[in-house]
Structure 1
Amino acid sequence: MGIRDEHDHRHELGAFLRAHRELLAPEDIGLPRSPRRRTPGLRREEVAALSGVGVAWYTWLEQGRVDTSRQVLEAVARTLRLDADAHRHLLELAGFHVPAASGPMPVDALRALVDGWPISPALVLDPAMDLVAWNHAWRVIAPDPAEVPAERRNLLSMLLTDPAYRAHFPAHEAIALDLVRHLRTRADHPRGVEIAAELRLARPDLAAWWQCRAVAVFAPRTVATRPMRGVSPRFAVSLLTPAAAPDATVLVGTPVDAETIAHMAGRAGTEAGFGGHDVLGVRSVEE
């Protein structure tokens, strides 16, 4: 970071603290409001005292004149009653590493999202590539995941060890290799470690994969699926991470040509006529 960048960085942090100090009323933290108070929100000396730091130091911090420790920023964040998002932003402004927020995936919201893609096959995956939900369009191009035992309902495992899935994706190994590299970006996930160990035993012919330590975020690629009714469907496959669900990823295939679009639209329309929303709806592990 250059001198100018560091200067801008400090001033942005100071402005953020000042804005939140002015938003917090004295009574919010148990202080009386004086009729003679002219300062909007809290005074600097009040924030400093409640955070256990000197008034001069806190003043310099708001003025962008000093760096500070994470411990001090944590104390100031508590004083200013910062919510989780503001707290995270404060630490990031100061240059501290902040782990990705985690929590339960909003499965219903993601299920509704992929359900709205009638011609784009999609899967909702957890960090270890286990399938959480899938849409009807996925069942058009591949076997229904509901027919796979729950303990084996993992995208990597299905691509590398399930004969039916391998038959539906001629380039299954190339796709799987990209997913293996992506999975290593979450190497500390217990289930991911378990899946990797199972695949080492199931596919010893891929020993070079397991010995390699290459790490890479999954890059979009064009994937052809097994020909159906005289059509060879082709999709641009991407792996998306919803901002509201950082522990989830959505693997989606977008048709890349008119032939594929027509085929998928025809299948969706035909089956909708026989089964309505129940046929077009998403299947998930909860069913």
Structure 2
Amino acid sequence: MVTGDVEPMSTTQRRRPELAAFLRSRRARVTPADVGMPPGFRRRTPGLRREEVAQLSGVGVTWYTWLEQGRPINASPQVLDAVARTLRLDQPEREHLYHLAEVPYEQDPPAAARAVGPEIQGVIDAVDPHPAVVYNARFDILATNRAYRDVFFTPQTANSGMGNALWTLFTVPEPACPLVFRESELPVMVATLRSSYGLHAGEPAWEDFICRLSEASPHFARLWRNGDVVPPGPRVKTFRHAAVGTMRMTSVSLSIHGLPECRIVVYQPVDEETSLRVARLRALMTQETTGTTTKNPAP
């Protein structure tokens, strides 16, 4: 029976034994051959010895022994990283080590995704007739469904030279731009870009993209200097297409497990008129593809 005189275990008291067991189990699976060391003699287990882990990690044998024994010692991120490299921990194991050692963990910024697999492509294809696209944090277009291409791809946007939504919206002439009310909508998109930029400041790919777009579009350069930040979220936007006129749609962003900083954006008509115009546009695009014609293509 537990009485009121028994104090509950603290978080540290619970984590230290887990830390000790975790380090022992990871050490046991790394062989001397894995780290370029001779096997030696009289080795009771196939894994590394404590002194070998300490030597390879550049820490004292006594300090590492205390760490593996779960003693209440302080560990720096640099030392934990060295131990993690020696024990060949992958990213989830490294994060687990940090948590058990009660050291704040800062995850490395993920590399920008450049493509999606057939499963994600199947998801956005399944939401047709709603336009859907997969963006990464820079608004690179990773995948689209046919509805998205019918509504947003025009000869002018296709010739923009970049598979990036922001680049297209800022560099095509306004009459050819599918986005209406650019003065109010583009600042929000740039602020959304900046909300992701914080994780990637200084990275060559990001800095190059921002520099080139700033040179191509003084409008983008001015908005970027404003420093506004907003996260992605649902919005109602108005688009235009020469064949059917304007269309009002709401955009909904969905995160993708396994693709950090990527999102599926689905566009849905907000009124009956837009639904009819989207359907009419899809029919026109199908006729163009199949080579058939219609007497009244205009809305």
TM-score, normalising length from structure 1?
A: 0.66
Task: Indicate yes or no: 2:87 matched with 1:69.
Answer: no
Tell me which residue corresponds to 2:86. Answer: 79
Larger radius of gyration: 2
Q: Which has the higher helix share?
A: 1
Instruction: Tell me, yes or no, if the aligned pair for 1:130 and 1:153 is still in contact at 8 Å.
Output: yes
Alignment of 1:122-201 (within 5 A): 122-125=132-135, 127-144=137-154, 147-151=157-161, 154-160=164-170, 161-164=172-175, 166=177, 168-184=178-194, 185-186=196-197, 187-188=201-202, 189=206, 190-199=208-217, 201=218
Identity %: 32
Per-residue deviation at 1:181? 0.9
Pairwise CA RMSD: 4.4
Whether the aligned pair in 2 keeps the contact of 1:181 and 1:215 (CA below 8 Å) is yes
**8 Å contact kept, 1:121–1:137:** yes
**CA separation of 1:164 and 1:14: change in aligned 2, threshold 3 A:** farther
The one-character-per-residue Cα deviations of 1:90-136 (angstroms, maximum 9, x if unpaired) are 45763243431326623555656544442332334455434454331
Give 5+ residue unaligned stretches, structure 1. 277-287
What is the alpha-carbon distance in structure 1 between the residues aligned to residue 268 and residue 226 of structure 2? 32
Q: 1:48 aligns with which of 46, 54, 60?
A: 54
Match of 1:252 in 2: 265
Structure 2 residues without counterparts, runs of 5 or longer: 1-9, 291-299
Report the AA paired with residue 120 of structure 1: H
Q: What secondary structure is seen at the aligned counterpart in 1 of 2:64?
A: helix
SS of structure 2 residue aligned to 1:159 = helix
Question: What residue is the counterpart of 1:237 in the other structure?
Answer: 252
Report the number of matched residues.
266
- Counterpart in the other structure of 1:60: 66
Q: Distance in 2 between matches of 1:43 and 1:261?
A: 68
The whole-number CA distance in structure 1 between the counterparts of 2:13 and 2:167 is: 50
Letter in structure 2 aligned against 1:249: C
Contact residue 123 and residue 135 of structure 1 kept, 8 A: yes
3-state secondary structure, aligned to 1:151: coil
Task: Give the superposition deviation at 1:73.
Answer: 2.2
Q: Distance in 2 between matches of 1:254 and 1:16?
A: 47
Contact 1:238 1:252 in 2 (8 A): yes
Q: Is the 8 A contact 2:248 2:271 kept in 1?
A: no
Per-residue CA deviations over 1:144-164 (Å, capped at 9, x if unaligned) read 378532436542243345334
Cα distance change, pair 10–183 in 1 and its aligned pair in 2 (3 A): farther
* 1:210 to 1:36, Cα distance in 2 relative to 1, 3 A: closer
Mark the CA change 1:103 to 1:132 in structure 2 (over 3 Å): closer, same or farther.
Answer: closer
Separation (CA, whole Å) in 2 of partners of 1:258 and 1:65 = 63
Paired with 1:139 and 1:34, the residues of 2 have a C-alpha distance of: 67
Structure 2 length-normalised TM:
0.64
